[in-house]
């Protein structure tokens, strides 16, 4: 079966795990590098005695479905209209509903209670000539990574799991009506500004990982995907990596702030045209010790960092405008 046709629909669930029935006309999503895992199971090997040698049969348990993919980070086209990715994908990653701020911008707030919202996702691969494989899952939740690399367009990456309530089948989803946001723009000196502690670093890449671990939880009376805080889920390890040219320490010395774990203000603004601007800030970014590399005879530093909240949900402020 060829992989030349891929359609994904997703919709917020009103009740966790209850199919929200996304439809092609309103719930089609633009993604790429979609790597579904149509069936995931635990398994139990039966320990039966027999009068002959050979492998024992096994039983499949705790069915779920995995979905990994990327999506372009671009605005909606209008400053005070939420993006499709912010209205849908972020909701599975402990973000609340987008909040328009008059005609100025839209905020995407982090949630701090429970496991947040969940999605129903339908997707198919294949075509009319050779057939389709349709996958459906409910209760989908995911971690989120945001990536800004110079010379490329920015993207978000998700790797989530949901409940396996229906096995894959051969039904086509139907022709989708895709959203029409503006095209993402290149991360470069014209489109992007980046400061750390008020200093404009010469940036190669910035990656933010919310650090949430999704976990399938199964009890008699409950099946759910949760964020496993016992293993540093629920944003307890929110942070990432900065790669930049090392500044002259006599001009800006980050080494002292490694040892003191100083709070550094982060500002990343990407885009120049209203309706296609992303604004990411944090007041308390703490960097770890840098490692060095050489790029075109220039000394580069790579720093891991943590985002530290001072109040519930404020370790990251994400807006489009």
Average pLDDT, the chain: 94
Can you give the residue ranges of every domain in the chain?
6-40+62-320
Contact (Cβ atoms closer than 8 angstroms) between residue 71 and residue 34: no
What pLDDT is recorded for position 212?
Answer: 92
Question: Does pLDDT of 133 surpass 70?
Answer: yes
* pTM score, whole prediction: 0.94
Helix H segments across the chain? 84-87, 255-260
Residue whose pair of structure tokens reads 């040219």 in the numeric block: 245
What pLDDT is recorded for position 117?
Answer: 97
Q: For residues 37 and 216, what is the distance between their CA atoms, to the nearest angstrom?
A: 14
Mean pLDDT of 116-125: 96
Mean pLDDT of 82-108: 97
What pLDDT is recorded for position 226?
Answer: 95
Question: Does pLDDT of 234 surpass 70?
Answer: no
pLDDT grade, residue 89 (50/70/90)?
A: very high
Reported as a single tens digit per residue, the pLDDT across 271-292 is 999 999 999 999 999 999 999 9
Spatial CB neighbours of 267, under 8 Å, sequence gap ≥ 6 = 193, 194, 195, 280, 281
Question: Does pLDDT of 233 surpass 60?
Answer: no
H or E element in which residue 309 lies: none
DSSP calls for 4-30: --EEEEEEE-SSTTS-----TTT-B--
pLDDT grade, residue 3 (50/70/90)?
A: low
Mean pLDDT of 40-50: 91
Mean pLDDT of 71-78: 98
What pLDDT is recorded for position 50?
Answer: 85
Question: Does pLDDT of 172 surpass 80?
Answer: yes
Which segments of 85-210 are extended strands (E)? Answer: 99-101, 105-107, 119-127, 131-149, 155-163, 192-196, 203-209
Reported as a single tens digit per residue, the pLDDT across 197-232 is 999 999 999 999 999 999 999 999 999 999 987 555
- Buried (b) or exposed (e) across 209-222, using 16+ Cβ within 10 A? bbbbbbbbeeeeee
Q: For residues 95 and 92, what is the distance between their CA atoms, to the nearest angstrom?
A: 7
What pLDDT is recorded for position 5?
Answer: 79
């Amino acid at each position: 079966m060829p992989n030349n046709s891929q359609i994904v629909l997703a919709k917020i669930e009103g009740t966790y795990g209850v199919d929200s029935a996304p439809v092609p006309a309103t719930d089609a999503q633009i993604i790429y590098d979609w790597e579904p895992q149509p069936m995931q199971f635990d398994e139990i090997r039966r320990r039966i005695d027999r009068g002959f040698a050979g492998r024992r049969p096994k039983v499949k348990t705790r069915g779920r479905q995995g979905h990994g993919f990327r999506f372009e980070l671009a605005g909606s086209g209008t400053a005070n209209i939420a993006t499709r990715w912010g209205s849908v994908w972020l909701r599975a990653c402990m973000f609340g509903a987008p909040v328009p701020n008059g005609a100025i911008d839209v905020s995407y707030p982090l949630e701090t209670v429970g496991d947040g919202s969940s999605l129903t996702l339908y997707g198919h691969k294949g075509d009319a000539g050779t057939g389709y494989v349709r996958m459906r899952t409910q209760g989908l939740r995911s971690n989120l990574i945001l990536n800004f690399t110079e010379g490329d367009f920015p993207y978000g990456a998700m790797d989530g799991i949901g409940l396996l309530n229906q096995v894959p089948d051969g039904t086509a989803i139907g022709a989708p009506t895709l959203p029409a946001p503006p095209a993402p723009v290149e991360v470069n000196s014209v489109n992007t500004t980046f400061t750390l502690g008020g200093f404009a670093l010469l940036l190669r890449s910035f990656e933010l990982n919310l650090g949430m671990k999704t976990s399938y939880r199964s009890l008699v009376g409950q099946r759910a995907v949760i964020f496993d805080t016992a293993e540093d889920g629920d944003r307890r390890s929110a942070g990432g990596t900065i790669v930049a040219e090392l500044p002259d320490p006599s001009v800006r010395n980050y080494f002292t702030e490694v040892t003191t774990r100083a709070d550094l203000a982060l500002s990343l603004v990407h885009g120049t045209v209203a309706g296609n601007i992303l604004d990411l800030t944090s007041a308390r970014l703490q960097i770890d010790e840098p490692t060095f590399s050489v790029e075109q005879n220039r000394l580069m530093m790579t720093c891991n960092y943590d985002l530290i909240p001072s109040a519930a949900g404020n370790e990251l402020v994400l807006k489009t405008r």
